[in-house]
A and B are shown apart, each in its own frame.
Chain A
Amino acid sequence: MTKDIKTILLAHGSGGSHSRRLVEDVFAKAFTNPLLAPLNDQAVFASPSGRLAFTTDSYVVKPIFFPGGDIGKLAVCGTINDLAVGGAEPLYLSASFIIEEGLPMDELERVVASMAKTALDAGVMIVTGDTKVVERGKGDKLFINTAGIGRISGSLDLAPSGIKPGDSVIVSGTMGDHGIAILTHREGIRMETPVESDCAPLHTLAKAVLEAAPSGVRAMRDPTRGGLATVLNEFAASSGRSISVREDDIPVKEAVRGACEILGFDPLYLANEGKLVAVVSKESTDAALDAMRSHRYGRDAAVIGTVEEGPKARVLIETSIGNRRILDMLSGEQLPRIC
């Protein structure tokens, strides 16, 4: 059995008996569901009614296990969230694994178990997948690609082009947790209060907001790489409006603020994996905010700013001492400061 072999071998990607056993013993067993069970080259299901949303993303993270999650949880949540922010109810996922030769089998099994649990909790099925093994040194332990299909009900159309002056900008919680969790864990930076990744599936949160403000939600995004600042700039660019936010109102955990201070990072550019940014009409603001705050993933939700008329599509931030400045896109990656 696969269990006897304690590490991933090149043979596990050969398509032969090792591969078959890996698929049966590890993947099919963990992801068990009737659509996957036949282990055909494709999953066959009846087409859901209404419009469909389809998305894909690849996950590369070092280390693959981190406080608050792991690469598997991230791969499932990330794709669910890409569907959720478009207002889609996630249904089916695919999962492709590119594994580096030598990865301990139990690490793979832990990742797969975490994916299975996350999918189960979220009510989505992983129905098809693929495995490749690359030579040692040619990969970074494990890369995962997930694609997802979701259903959009009614005539819902969430597009940043619909953003209007007077709309409110809401975030569902504290910014930068994932970024700091990964960074401090990877670099072995000890902190008084360690920060956990916020990695979470957001479709029920998105649904709650959409239900509370059925016609008031203009656009939603999950601020992953590039963080809040990048999402706000994208909103501004695609709507042609200016967005103005208040630094004091943006929730950031004390520990994240502290770590940023030391490293010279800005929490507004750090990745989040379990947060929503929503632009909602002025009238719907309270309803949307209440809906978020009564959801487990939105307790720290806050209104952080408003959309203005223009004249230029840009993001302005009122700093904590009361002056205004531009909040730009991130260029390149944030690197720690020297002095």
Chain B
Amino acid sequence: MKYVDEFRKREEAQGLLRKIREISRREVSIMEICGTHTHSISKYGVREALPPNIRLISGPGCPVCVTSAADVNRLLDFSRSRRDVVIATFGDMMKVPGSSSSLQEEKARGGDIRVVYSPLGALDIAREDTGREVVLFAVGFETTVPTVAATMLAAREEGLKNFSVLSLHKLTPPAMRALMDTGEIDIDGFICPGHVTAIIGAGAYGFLATEYGSPCVVAGFEPIDAIMGIYMLVRQLEEGRKDIEIEYDRVVTWDGNLKAQEVMRSVFEPADSLWRGIGNIPGSGLRIRDEFADMDAEKRFSIPPGEDAEPRGCKCGSVLKGLITPDACPLFAKACTPEFPIGPCMVSSEGTCAAFFKYRRAA
């Protein structure tokens, strides 16, 4: 049975690709906003299978990559100045190079920095050792925010006094608006992220269709989802429609997860946020509400801002805005590799440079 399923999957994927080739006439540029899409598209060789008139541009959808250099340096400074604090962080943040080191290096030098798989992992550490302060460096988009909020609510409920969060969260729709407003790049339509949209709902992209005339398709992360998403978007573009469509309807609805949105709102409120390569985007971040000030690491430790210096020669900013593909960066695959990354886009498994390096070098 399994063999048959796999076979069908291949047939289906190749069939969809064929349909795209059949209907596609115009030159179009499609942005996939999300790093997981970038990864999946590269991993399964989707880009190469599309006709040349369809250009896929990778957008700023990897939370590690868009964390500003200033924020990375800030985390490193904090870790250096407070060796007594346990720092919990998610995966790839460990490897992002700052101006002088990375969290991975700070850990080797004696910082108590731990990778957690979910915010609850950080809470566990705080529970185990109530004598030590635990700070969660919370990066991520709308997908992770509700669980961070729920974790904070749980900490409050339990009366834990040694747990706090540094909120570096970012919101997707304001970044899409900012990208359109720069006017630097032509985007005909967006493939929108499945997980983020499961929370915020497809309706959140309505402004792209009405104000900017860009159709959107929300797609899942299986290769067939991504190809189907591209097909739906190309069909819209060919027909001259500007709609918000949902490919990933097994998970995504128009309104999203209202419960999660409420939890999120109860703890966080929108704030300005600094994006790598793009700069400050109004209302694109989340700060912890005053009611939770005791759990706001920012206030609790008064963490000063870090130096905003991009790595020398790194073109992450242009990659994140979709202005260039990684191979246009002079450092790509030379000075900058996943083993010795210079910019965050080469670090994270969802980073565009890492995906290009891993899957596209002379396949």
Contacts and interface: CB of A to CB of B under 8 A. Distances in A.
Interface string B261-299: 000000000000000000000000000000000000000
Contacts of B6: 248, 320
A336 B90 contact: yes
Interface string B338-363: 11000000001110000000111111
Interface string A314-339: 00100111111110100110111111
A264 interface: yes
A264 B140 CA distance: 15
Contacts of B143: 339
Contact of B10 (A263, A316, A320, A339): A320
Contacts of B361: 326
B36 interface: yes
The number of chain B residues touching the other chain, given as a range, is 35 or more
Interface string A249-269: 000000000000001100000
Given A189-B117, A322-B13, A325-B359, A338 B46 contact: no
B140 A339 contact: yes
B48 A321 contact: no
A175 B267 CA distance: 42
A326 B44 CA distance: 10
A187 B117 contact: yes
Interface string A298-321: 000000000000001000100111
A339 B144 contact: yes
Contact of A335 (B44, B121, B144, B349): B349
A90 to B, nearest CB: 34
Q: Is the interface of A mostly helix, strand, loop or mixed?
A: loop
Contacts of A324: 45, 363
Contacts of B300: none
Given A335-B94, A338-B350, A321 B224 contact: yes
A337 B359 contact: no
Given A320-B10, A320-B223, A336 B91 contact: yes
A323 B48 contact: yes
Q: In the complex, which of the residues A187, A331, A334 has the most CB atoms of chain B within 10 Å of its own CB atom?
A: A331
A331 B339 contact: yes
B322 interface: no
Contacts of B139: 338
A321 to B, nearest CB: 4
B315 interface: no
A263 B117 contact: yes
Nearest to B338: A331
A323 B49 contact: yes
Contacts of B45: 319, 321, 323-325
A321 B10 contact: yes
Contacts of A332: 95, 338-339
Nearest to B227: A321
B92 interface: yes
A311 B6 CA distance: 30
Interface in B188-244: 193, 195-196, 223-224, 227
Contacts of B95: 332, 335
Contacts of B121: 187-188
Interface in B53-101: 61-64, 90-92, 94-95
A321 B49 CA distance: 11
A339 B62 contact: yes
B170 to A, nearest CB: 10
Contact of A339 (B117, B193, B223, B338): B193
A319 B44 contact: yes
A119 B359 CA distance: 42
Given A319-B45, A320-B6, A331-B338, A339 B363 contact: no
Contact of A336 (B46, B49, B117, B124): B117
Contact of B115 (A316, A328, A335): A335
Interface string A171-192: 0000000000000000111000
B177 interface: no
Contact of B64 (A328, A334, A338): A338
Contacts of B337: 331
B9 interface: yes
B332 interface: no
Contact of A337 (B3, B48, B49, B349): B349
A326 B42 CA distance: 10
A319 to B, nearest CB: 5
A331 B61 CA distance: 22
A332 B361 CA distance: 19
17 contacts: A187-B117, A248-B3, A319-B45, A321-B13, A323-B46, A324-B45, A325-B360, A326-B361, A326-B362, A332-B339, A336-B90, A336-B115, A337-B92, A338-B63, A338-B139, A339-B36, A339-B62
Given A325-B360, A326-B361, 12 more contacts: A248-B10, A312-B362, A322-B13, A323-B44, A323-B46, A325-B44, A332-B338, A337-B92, A338-B63, A338-B64, A338-B139, A339-B195
